[in-house]
């Protein structure tokens, strides 16, 4: 079934939407979780009314109007689920801060319902996961309303060396809501754009390297890439198990912290989460402190800065504001191994992608269109007109050529990537300068989308934390030419409480987020 047809049928399967006029829609642009909960408590809103309002906004602005194209599939049962949550609230009270809150999740996160999980590929169109991912289950337990799935860079941007972020064969191209000719970055393109545009207050993205941090930054929102093992990877279409994680995307640090608390915790199906059993917190908002910059030792990872960049003045002004708020700035504080482990990272990804994807596809059962990476490559070749109109699948072919995870080449690359990003990288520089966190531009501003000449580099600093499996938080710092810029705070494993304290204080001091205007272009 084609995407447009599915969305149409899903909409028809929903109860009639209330006639919310366009004048009422902007209230969703900056709505926070606490405010939505207050509205439900006071009886001004219900889970049903919130679901319907967000669905109306998606229909008006994502599918029509500026056509951001961030949502690949709506949940045909969203309003039914919301009604059950309203009844539950009346009977027993709210389950917690996410009760009745609409959430969108990336289309590589399994849900065992009437929605597909495809990683944006036509090869998995119509594939229904055999069970919920851990992330989906935790959201349901928390009372969130799963509103739908967001578009992504196909196979989480691990298909071609010259891909265009935000494009997938199944979902088409997602646009940046600040300027529709600009790229939202990837691979969590749809999740970032949807939150920025007010299609949901919260979304879940995934990251292997930069796929939460970069789109969050370029779309003017907060993104958290957690420590590997804080959030389970089970039921998420993989790239590399040594780096993959899901994480929150929201308009504020507070809302991102609320979502992180709902997602974190041990999962018997994911051994990596055992390490975080005693380190996960149910309520990360307790660590938020508006005065959290005072006395914090922050190291500037200057080699990740771009001298003369468009957003340089915004970044430097943000650093000065941190100083005014009492932060101790160590400048520079660069990783001794900066730029030295990217090749090892890519080698690890190729090996782990083949092993992980084959394992994922194997459990989908006989109804799945493809069952191995080899079959996926053949499917793409057969359907070139729809799957490869702009770029190919060189990365898939490179991964297919790799052997098992017992090979020395893989084991050596993994050891070097970890050592150089951890003990000789982030840990080393933080020990040397006694730092609480490292600071660098998250990337941007967004470049123009170009399906012919593909992605244009916008910089970034996600690599070290991604390869190490350490946490990273991006927060809006301001704009350049109407396009958002983010600042990243990253540090040691399990340091989410420290990073959230610093990130929240920075957010409160700078107030860098601006509401998008869906402009056709800027500059």
How far apart (Å, rounded) are the C-alpha atoms in residues 72 and 57?
15
In three-state secondary structure terms, 207 is: strand
Please give the C-alpha separations between residue 179 and each of 33, 168, 449, 469, in angstroms, as whole numbers: 26, 20, 10, 32
Report whether the peptide linkage leading into residue 187 is cis, meaning its omega lies within 30 degrees of zero. Answer: yes
- CA dihedral (235, 240, 242, 246) positive or negative: negative
C-alpha closest to that of 155 among 388, 345, 368: 388
Task: Exactly one of 187, 188, 214, 304 is catalytic; name it.
Answer: 187
C-alpha triplet 485, 490, 494: angle, nearest 5°:
140
Return all residues near 16 (Cβ < 8 A) that are at least 6 apart: none
Annotated catalytic residue within 49, 70, 191, 211:
211
CA–CA dist 350, 403 (Å, integer)? 10
* Crossing angle of helices 134-142 and 253-263, rounded to 10°: 110
How would DSSP label each residue in 120-170? Answer: T-GGGTT---SS--HHHHHHHHHT-EEEEEE--SHHHH-S-TT--TTEETT
Catalytically annotated residue among 106, 149, 225, 402: 106
Judged on CB neighbours under 10 Å (0-12, 13-18, 19+), 308 is exposed
53 is catalytic: no
Is residue 102 within 8 Å of 149, Cβ to Cβ? no
- Give the separation between CA 166 and CA 164, rounded to whole angstroms: 6
Annotated active-site residue 448? The verdict is no
In the annotation, is 106 catalytic?
yes
Tokens of 101: 């809150």
Q: Which helix (H) or strand (E) holds 205?
A: strand 202-207
Nearest to 265 by CA among 249, 284, 250: 284
Q: Which amino acids are annotated catalytic? A: 106, 187, 211
């Amino acid at each position: 079934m084609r995407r447009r047809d599915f969305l149409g049928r899903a909409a028809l399967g929903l109860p009639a939407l209330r006639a919310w006029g366009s004048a009422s829609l902007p209230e969703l642009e900056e709505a926070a979780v606490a405010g939505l909960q207050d509205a439900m408590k006071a009886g001004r809103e219900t889970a049903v009314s919130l679901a319907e309002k967000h669905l109306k906004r998606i229909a008006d602005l994502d599918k029509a109007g500026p056509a951001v194209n961030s949502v690949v599939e709506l949940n045909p049962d969203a309003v039914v689920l919301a009604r059950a949550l309203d009844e539950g609230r009346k009977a027993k009270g709210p389950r917690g801060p996410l009760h009745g809150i609409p959430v969108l999740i990336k289309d590589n996160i399994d849900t065992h319902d009437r929605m597909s999980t495809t990683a944006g590929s036509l090869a998995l169109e119509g594939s229904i996961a055999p069970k919920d991912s851990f992330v989906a289950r935790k959201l349901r337990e928390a009372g969130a309303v799963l509103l739908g799935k967001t578009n992504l860079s196909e196979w989480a941007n691990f298909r071609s060396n010259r891909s265009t972020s935000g494009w997938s064969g199944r979902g088409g191209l997602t646009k940046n809501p600040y300027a529709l000719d600009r790229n939202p970055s990837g691979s969590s393109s749809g999740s970032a754009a949807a939150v920025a545009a007010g299609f949901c207050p919260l979304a879940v993205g995934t990251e292997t390297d930069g796929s939460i941090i970069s789109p969050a930054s370029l779309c003017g929102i907060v993104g958290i890439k957690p420590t590997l093992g804080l959030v389970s990877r089970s039921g998420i279409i993989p790239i590399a198990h040594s780096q993959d994680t899901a994480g929150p995307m929201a308009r504020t640090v507070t809302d991102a912290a609320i979502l992180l608390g709902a997602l974190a915790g041990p999962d018997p199906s994911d051994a990596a989460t055992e390490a975080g059993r005693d380190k996960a917190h149910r309520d990360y908002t307790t660590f938020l402190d508006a005065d959290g910059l005072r006395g914090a030792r922050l190291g500037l990872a200057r080699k990740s800065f771009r001298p003369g960049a468009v957003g340089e003045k915004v970044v430097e002004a943000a650093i000065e504001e941190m100083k005014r708020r009492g932060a101790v700035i160590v400048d520079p504080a660069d990783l001794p191994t900066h730029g030295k482990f990217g090749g090892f990272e890519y080698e690890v990804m190729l090996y782990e992608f083949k092993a992980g994807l084959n394992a994922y596809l194997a459990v989908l059962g006989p109804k799945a269109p493809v069952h191995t990476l080899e079959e996926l490559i053949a499917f793409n070749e057969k359907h070139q007109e729809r799957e490869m109109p702009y770029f190919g699948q060189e990365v898939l072919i490179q991964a297919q050529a790799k052997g098992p995870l017992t090979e020395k080449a893989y084991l050596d690359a993994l050891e070097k990537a970890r050592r150089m990003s951890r003990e000789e990288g982030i840990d080393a520089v933080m020990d040397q300068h006694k730092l609480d966190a490292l600071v660098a531009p998250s990337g941007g501003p967004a470049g123009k989308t170009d399906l012919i000449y593909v992605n244009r580099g916008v910089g970034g600093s996600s690599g070290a934390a991604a390869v190490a499996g350490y946490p990273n938080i991006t927060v809006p710092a301001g704009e350049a030419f109407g396009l958002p810029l983010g600042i990243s705070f990253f540090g040691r494993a399990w340091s989410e409480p420290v990073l959230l304290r610093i990130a929240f204080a920075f957010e409160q001091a700078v107030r860098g987020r601006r509401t998008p205007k869906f402009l056709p272009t800027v500059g």
